[in-house]
Structure formats: structure tokens, C-alpha cells
């Protein structure tokens, strides 16, 4: 199957490569001409054979909105645009309605897998009309992990990004619990092998998970996390999850507390936030700040923002 890919960064580039390995033809566009196959969205649309599919992997907000709007002008009835970025689910209906005026379909897909997705596959949560989602099944099957799990048609437009938003909110809570547990173990002299304790939990316990595996990996690389500043950015989806909970009167005490803990990390060097920062780097390749680097930049001031939000 032929597909256009807009945005060839950490996620988009690896997804394009996984699709190529599965035998699909990918025509890629990126603002960096060194990594793209074409020089513009116009050239991308011209290279694709109708009915066309274009998958967008650019930062949420205005970059996604402007890209989707431009594709609506370039594409034809029967084509489909996929937003696989971390967009707010409330934006999806606006984008779908705008594209529908041109006869172009829209599918939103929440994507999880980070920098490991190229080899392991990506968990995919799709939202959209059944006829549009069905058209994308060969792409979904190539991107997802092997086996029956890892993909869901979650519902109508917006459902994919809503499911991914809640997924990320849960991720916040789990990461915060691991981080607080690590800080408590480190704060006493009762347990003398803290990394070993976490390692022992990887098999046979009810908290074994990929995040626990990544935690152990982070401690293997830096046992005391001495090289990290206790600063953790939030990607936006944690905030949206909490806001959705307010909108629907659903209590989310753990997820809300985890989001607020990230805010607190920008005010002081929190030991727990070092672990959160380490875990984000492990599964997503997110940027981290060294303790020395933060001091050198004078970024210890409250509210200093050294890591831009992940898109």
C-alpha cells in the first residue's frame, strides 16, 4: 500500500521505516529536506496515487491544524488524512468537519511505543468512521506489535486521541508511584541494594511491567541518578486528561497528583522527578537535563523551562 508521511522525527521516521520493512511504499515529507522524499506538501500530494492516504506526525496544535487544512486543499474526495500525533481530541472533530467539506476522510490515531516502536511495534488507538478506518487496516497491521493485541478501533472521530490521552494519564500515575517508591527506598539505610530490589520485582510480582524494566535500565546506567536534574516536563496530555475528568465529573486523584508533581519539579530538584525524567528518556527518548548543565544555564530558578513539551 502507498502512504504519505508528514513529519519524520523520532516517531514519524521510525514508523515510516517500519512500514517500508513491511513492504509498503512510503513517500515522506519533513521540514528538514535531508530526511524527506519530497520538498513540499504539494509535491507529496502529486506523488501519491488516488485514493490517497496521508499520515500526519507533527506537533499538536497549530502545526497539525495548518497541515491538515492545507492537505484538505490539496487532496481529493475519497482520500483520507490520519492524525497520528498527540492532538487534543476536541480538535479532531474540527479537523474532520473541515476535511469533509472537501470530501476527504479523517482518522485520529493515538500512537504509543516511543523510540522502541520500530522494532517492537506501536500500540494504536483509532477513531473515525468505519469505512475510513477499514481502508487503513494494512497500515495498522504493519505498525502494530505481533499478536492479536495492540490495536483498537476505539470509536468515532476523537476516540483514538481520547484513549491515548487517558493512557498517558495512567502512565503519569504509574511513573509517579515508581518514582516515589524509589525515593523512599533511597531515603533510609534499611535497604542497601535499591536497584536490586527493583530488579527483583521484575518477575513474579503484581507490579512487573515494561516501565519497571525501564526503571531498572535507568538505574543500571546511573545508580543514584546523580547525572540528572529532578525536572520533568509534561507533554500536555496529562493536563487534558485532568481537564476531561473535570468536564465529566470523574475523580482522578492519582493522575492529578502525578501531574502536579511534575509542576513541582520545576520549582526544586525533586529526587522522585529524577526517576520520572529517567523513565521518559528510556521509553521515549525525551530530552533530559544534567544537574551540572542546569546549574551552568542558571535554570535552577523557579519556572525555568528547559525542555520543550514533547509532541
- Predicted pLDDT of residue 268: 63
Written as nine digits, the cell of 62 is 497549530
Instruction: Judge if the upstream peptide bond of residue 139 is cis by omega within 30 degrees of 0.
Output: no
Q: Does the 2-157 domain belong in CATH 3.40.50.720?
A: yes
Domain ranges of the chain: 2-157, 164-297
Residue 63 near residue 37 (C-beta atoms within 8 A): no
Cell 468515532 belongs to residue: 156
Distance CA 250, CA 242 (A): 9
Distance CA 209, CA 202 (A): 7
Task: Note the pLDDT tens digit of each residue in 132-173.
Answer: 999 999 999 999 999 999 999 999 999 999 999 999 999 999
Q: What are phi and psi of 286, to 5 degrees?
A: -65, 150
* Residues annotated as catalytic (active site), given as ranges: 164, 171
Beta pairing partners, 124 = 111, 151
For 164-297, CATH gives 1.10.1040.10
CA 197 to chain centre: 29
**271-301 residues labelled b (16+ CB within 10 A) or e (exposed):** bbbbbbbbbbbbbbebebbebeebeeeebee
- Predicted pLDDT of residue 305: 35
Beta pairing partners, 2 = 25
Q: How many CB atoms lie within 10 A of CB 23?
A: 9
Written as nine digits, the cell of 91 is 480538535
pTM: 0.83
Residue closest to 86 by CA, chosen among 275, 240, 224: 240
- The residues, ordered by sequence, that sit 6+ positions from 188 with a Cβ below 8 Å of its Cβ are none
Residue closest to 277 by CA, chosen among 182, 163, 208: 182
Distance CA 61, CA 233 (A): 18
pLDDT, tens digit only, all 311 positions of the chain? 999 999 999 999 999 999 999 999 999 999 998 999 999 999 999 999 999 999 999 999 999 999 999 999 999 999 999 999 999 999 999 999 999 999 999 999 999 998 899 999 999 999 999 999 999 999 999 999 999 999 999 999 999 999 999 999 999 999 999 999 999 999 999 999 999 999 999 999 999 999 999 999 999 999 989 888 888 888 788 999 999 999 999 999 999 999 998 888 877 667 788 888 899 989 888 888 776 654 443 333 333 333 333 33
- Predicted pLDDT of residue 231: 82
Distance CA 237, CA 108 (A): 15
Distance CA 277, CA 231 (A): 7
What do you get for the CA distance between the two ends of the chain, in Å? 27
Distance CA 292, CA 269 (A): 12
Amino acid at each position: 500500500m502507498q502512504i504519505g508521511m508528514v513529519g519524520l522525527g523520532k516517531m514519524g521516521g521510525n514508523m515510516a521505516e517500519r512500514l517500508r520493512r513491511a513492504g509498503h511504499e512510503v513517500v515522506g515529507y519533513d521540514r528538514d529536506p535531508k530526511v524527506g522524499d519530497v520538498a513540499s506538501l504539494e509535491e507529496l500530494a502529486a506523488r501519491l496515487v488516488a485514493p490517497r492516504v496521508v499520515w500526519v506526525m507533527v506537533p499538536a496544535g497549530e502545526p497539525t491544524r495548518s497541515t491538515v487544512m492545507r492537505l484538505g486543499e490539496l487532496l481529493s474526495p475519497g482520500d483520507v488524512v490520519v492524525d497520528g500525533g498527540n492532538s487534543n481530541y476536541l480538535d479532531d472533530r474540527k479537523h474532520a468537519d473541515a476535511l469533509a467539506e472537501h470530501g476527504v476522510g479523517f482518522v485520529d490515531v493515538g500512537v504509543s511505543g516511543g523510540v522502541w516502536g520500530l522494532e517492537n511495534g506501536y500500540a494504536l488507538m483509532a477513531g473515525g468512521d468505519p469505512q475510513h478506518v477499514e481502508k487503513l487496516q494494512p497500515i495498522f497491521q504493519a505498525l502494530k506489535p505481533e499478536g492479536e493485541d495492540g490495536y483498537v478501533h476505539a470509536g468515532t472521530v476523537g476516540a483514538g486521541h481520547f484513549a491515548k490521552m487517558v493512557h498517558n494519564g495512567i502512565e503519569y500515575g504509574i511513573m509517579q508511584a515508581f518514582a516515589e517508591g524509589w525515593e523512599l527506598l533511597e531515603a533510609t539505610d534499611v535497604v542497601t541494594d535499591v536497584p536490586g530490589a527493583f530488579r527483583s520485582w521484575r518477575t513474579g510480582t503484581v507490579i512487573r511491567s515494561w516501565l519497571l524494566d525501564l526503571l531498572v535500565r535507568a538505574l543500571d546506567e546511573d545508580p543514584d541518578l546523580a547525572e540528572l536534574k529532578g525536572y520533568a516536563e509534561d507533554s500536555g496530555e496529562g493536563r487534558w486528561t485532568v481537564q476531561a475528568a473535570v468536564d465529566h465529573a470523574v475523580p482522578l486523584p492519582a493522575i492529578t497528583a502525578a501531574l502536579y508533581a511534575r509542576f513541582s519539579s520545576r520549582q526544586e530538584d525533586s529526587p522522585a522527578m529524577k526517576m520520572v525524567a529517567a523513565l521518559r528518556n528510556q521509553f521515549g527518548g525525551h530530552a533530559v537535563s544534567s544537574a551540572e548543565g542546569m546549574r551552568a544555564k542558571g535554570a535552577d530558578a523557579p519556572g525555568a523551562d528547559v525542555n520543550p513539551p514533547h509532541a
